[in-house]
């Protein structure tokens, strides 16, 4: 893989060299590879087919999760969250001790490996929020809760420069990886001043399906704002907003 330089950037294939654009810039590589029909049918590529099948399930699993929490994810993500999530889910697929290689699934793997997953490496929750919180998910009632005692924002939150206000958000989702569906509910505080004065105690609650038989994830995040002439603006387009998985509960 080579990086294109110069004023003119190419796209397409010339002389067996493919030119294309990625998030890392304009790249070039030699066209090649094994014929797709051979990979699909040749016994020599059985391991390749198995790996591809499981990678595909990990990718679909990541899409299920991202779609479920999209209302919060759109405000707090980095450009590599898709690939990072797929990598972690593939590791989970490989922990499936029930199904044969090539048939292993996300739902039968060790989903606890997703605990503390950060959706935005530019603003990790663990390096942003220093106020102690308690969280819980009751599978019988379907209620997911999060509580934070009163705290001073400037002491307990590492906010980016320019912050005047912030908001705490929490959500929970039931994930049906097999059918590629989900449910999601979220709760949030009002937009609060980023000051030395203590906040009121924070109590957030959402309700999912009672006695659910699906895996449930609970996420916690912080969004930052800047007040200008009485209007609230998302600070730096949400670059430093934090969002992380804080609970993984499996039936």
Is 115 inside a domain boundary? no
Residues 28 and 131 in one domain: no
Q: What is the pLDDT of residue 19?
A: 64
Q: Which of 177, 181, 186, 178 is nearest to 208 (CA)?
A: 186
Q: 21 and 136 in one domain?
A: no
User: Could you list the pLDDT tens digit for every one of the 251 residues in the chain?
Assistant: 556 566 656 566 655 566 667 777 766 665 655 566 655 555 655 666 666 778 889 999 999 999 999 999 999 999 999 999 999 999 999 999 999 988 899 999 999 999 999 999 999 999 999 999 999 999 999 999 999 999 999 999 999 999 999 999 999 999 999 999 999 999 999 999 999 999 999 999 999 999 999 999 999 999 999 999 989 998 888 899 999 999 999 98
Q: What is the pLDDT of residue 54?
A: 84
In a domain, 6, yes or no: yes
Residue 237: the pLDDT is 82
Q: Which range of residues forms the domain containing residue 18?
A: 1-32
Q: Would you say residue 103 lies in a domain?
A: no
Say what the pTM is.
0.82
- Give the total number of structural domains in the chain: 2
Residue 59 lies in a domain: no
- Predicted pLDDT at 4: 54
Residue 226 lies in a domain: yes
């Amino acid at each position: 893989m080579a990086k294109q330089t110069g004023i003119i950037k190419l796209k397409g294939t010339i002389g067996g060299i493919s030119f294309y654009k990625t998030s890392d810039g304009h790249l070039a590589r030699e066209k090649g590879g094994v014929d797709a029909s051979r990979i699909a049918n040749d016994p020599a590529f059985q391991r390749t087919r198995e790996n591809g099948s499981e990678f595909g399930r990990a990718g679909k699993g990541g899409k299920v999760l991202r779609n479920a929490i999209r209302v919060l994810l759109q405000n707090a993500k980095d450009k590599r969250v898709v690939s990072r999530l797929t990598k972690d889910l593939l590791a989970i697929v490989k922990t499936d001790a029930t199904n044969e290689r090539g048939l292993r699934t996300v739902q039968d793997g060790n989903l606890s490996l997703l605990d503390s997953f950060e959706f935005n490496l530019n603003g990790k929750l663990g390096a942003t929020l220093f106020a102690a919180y308690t969280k819980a998910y009751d599978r019988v009632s379907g209620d997911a809760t999060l509580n934070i005692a009163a705290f001073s924002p400037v002491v307990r939150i590492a906010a980016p420069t320019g912050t005047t206000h912030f908001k705490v958000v929490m959500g929970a989702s039931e994930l049906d990886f097999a059918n590629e569906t989900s449910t999601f509910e979220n709760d949030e505080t009002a937009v609060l001043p980023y000051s030395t004065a203590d906040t009121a105690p924070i109590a957030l609650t959402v309700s999912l399906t009672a006695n659910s038989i699906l895996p449930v994830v609970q996420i916690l995040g912080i969004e930052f704002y800047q007040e200008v002439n009485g209007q609230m603006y998302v600070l730096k387009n949400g670059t430093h907003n934090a969002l992380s998985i804080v609970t993984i509960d499996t039936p």
